[in-house]
Amino acid sequence: MTAKECIVGRRSIRRFTDQPVSHELLEQIVETASYAPSWKNTQITRYIAVEGEMKEKLAACTKIWAGNGAIMNNAPMVIALTVVKGRSGYERDGSFSTGKGDGWQMFDAGVASEAFCLAAFEQGLGTVIMGLYDEEDIVELLGIPNEQELVALIAVGYPDQSPEAPKRKSVSDLLSYQK
Ligand SMILES: Cc1cc2nc3c(=O)[nH]c(=O)nc-3n(C[C@H](O)[C@H](O)[C@H](O)COP(=O)(O)O)c2cc1C
């Protein structure tokens, strides 16, 4: 699979087969995703793999949008993606490096998430990044420490659907030049 085939072919998958995701395969995918770039190579992204009864409890933390609860109930595994706070975008003395404040930690998490989803796709797995969930309830349920921030949930499993790509904007909408 070429990089282009991987980037263009990946879709958000919301329906999965019953086939479990092996821990060995997940570990390979996280190892691949660890090569994502990050602020000063701070590597702040963490992956919590949630399965079984804990996943059922996680799926219930979707009062904000029950659609994501249905996706999680259907998926064999959900990744809770967190970042270690206070490193990406920060100087050693704790001050911000730029005017974007702590925004770089979300940037790093986004870069790592895409790397994770592409690495999973290359291994035949489907993923969907989910931003709608009851954050406080999940932080408590999973015992996410104060030093970390929950950034997103990613459902993972073998696809039971092959959706068309949602329409993309044209290059002329996306790209401009300046001289
Ligand atoms: C930050 C972010 C949050 C998202 N949140 C959700 C979500 O809560 N539920 C969902 O079903 N899809 C969610 N998505 C998936 C997008 O809807 C999807 O990426 C987009 O429609 C393009 O489709 P594609 O991923 O198949 O190319 C999210 C994607 C991103 C990047």
Question: For the segment 90-122, what is each residue's pLDDT rounded down to a tens digit?
Answer: 999 999 999 999 999 999 999 999 999 999 999
Distance CA 80, CA 34 (A): 16
Q: With bands split at pLDDT 50, 70 and 90, how would you rate the model's confidence at 167? A: very high
Spacing, Cα 107 to ligand 1 middle (Å): 16
Cβ atoms of 84 and 147 within 8 Å: the answer is yes
Nearest CA, atom 7, ligand 1: 130
Cβ atoms of 120 and 127 within 8 Å: the answer is yes
Residue 168's pLDDT is 98
Spacing, Cα 66 to ligand 1 middle (Å): 15
% the chain with pLDDT above 90: 100
Q: 127 in ligand 1 pocket by Cβ < 6 Å?
A: no
Residue 153's pLDDT is 99
Residue 45's pLDDT is 98
Spacing, Cα 48 to ligand 1 middle (Å): 19
Q: Give the pTM.
A: 0.98
% the chain with pLDDT above 70: 100
Q: With bands split at pLDDT 50, 70 and 90, how would you rate the model's confidence at 161? A: very high
Distance CA 50, CA 59 (A): 10
Give the mean pLDDT of the chain: 98
Domains and CATH numbers, the chain: 7-174 (3.40.109.10)
Burial-class residue 170 by CB neighbours within 10 Å (0-12, 13-18, 19+): exposed
Q: With bands split at pLDDT 50, 70 and 90, how would you rate the model's confidence at 18? A: very high
Cβ atoms of 141 and 153 within 8 Å: the answer is no
Distance CA 18, CA 40 (A): 40
Reading the block at residue 55, the tokens are: 């996943």
Burial-class residue 6 by CB neighbours within 10 Å (0-12, 13-18, 19+): middle
Q: With bands split at pLDDT 50, 70 and 90, how would you rate the model's confidence at 9? A: very high
Spacing, Cα 53 to ligand 1 middle (Å): 25
Spacing, Cα 12 to ligand 1 middle (Å): 6
At 161, is the secondary structure helix, strand, or coil? Answer: coil
Best mutation site among 6, 10, 12, 162 for ligand 1 pocket (most ligand atoms within 8 Å of CB) = 12
**Which amino acid is located at 1 in the chain?**
M
- Interacting residues of 109 by C-beta distance below 8 A, sequence separation 6+: 44, 45, 81, 83, 151, 152
Best mutation site among 128, 161, 162 for ligand 1 pocket (most ligand atoms within 8 Å of CB) = 128
Q: 66 in ligand 1 pocket by Cβ < 6 Å?
A: no
Residue 146's pLDDT is 98
Place of tokens 């691949």: 32
Give just the sign of the alpha carbon dihedral 72, 74, 75, 76.
positive
Nearest CA, atom 9, ligand 1: 130
